[in-house]
């Protein structure tokens, strides 16, 4: 049986100075705590390589991604006082990406359209 894949992922990369890293990680922990309550979140977490941080996150669909951004909006603003987004990718099927282009426009993401694959 085939499953229609509506999954959307957003992949922000943050540059964090050494003096802000500990505080940034505290904000990340709060984001994780808030996000655990989101019913459409498939996975969520932060990875670090020195002063570069990556948030690995996936949602059932575009609506789930938008609900997440609303949920963590104040925390994201706090994070952006400590770090800058140096790259932002959004991945998903075309119909779901179309729902995200307007709401995410000011973040200037790069959109990647899913063309082949599967989801179990």
Tell me: the pLDDT tens digits for 56-74?
A: 999 999 999 999 999 999 9
Of all residues in the chain, the percent with pLDDT exceeding 90 is 91
Cα–Cα distances in angstroms (integers) from residue 81 to residues 8, 12, 17, 23, 26, in the given order: 26, 15, 11, 10, 13
C-beta separation of 82 from 27 below 8 A: yes
Per-domain boundaries in the chain: 8-113
Q: How many CB atoms lie within 10 A of CB 17?
A: 11
Q: H/E element holding 113?
A: strand 110-113
Mean pLDDT of 90-94: 96
pLDDT reported for residue 3: 55
Three-class SS of residue 88? strand
2: pLDDT strictly greater than 70: no
The pTM for the full model equals 0.92
Handedness of CA 34, 36, 82, 77 (dihedral sign): negative
Does domain 8-113 correspond to CATH entry 3.40.50.720?
no
């Amino acid at each position: 049986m085939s499953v229609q894949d509506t999954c959307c992922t957003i992949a922000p990369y943050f540059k964090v100075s050494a003096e802000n890293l500990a505080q940034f990680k505290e904000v990340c922990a709060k984001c994780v705590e808030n996000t655990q309550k989101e019913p459409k979140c498939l996975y969520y977490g932060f990875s670090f390589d020195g002063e570069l941080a990556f948030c690995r996150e996936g949602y059932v669909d575009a609506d789930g991604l938008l609900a997440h951004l609303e949920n963590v909006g104040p925390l994201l603003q706090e994070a952006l006082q400590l770090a800058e987004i140096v790259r932002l990718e959004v991945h998903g099927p075309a119909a779901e990406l179309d729902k995200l282009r307007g709401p995410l426009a000011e973040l200037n993401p790069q959109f990647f359209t899913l063309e082949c694959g599967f989801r179990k």
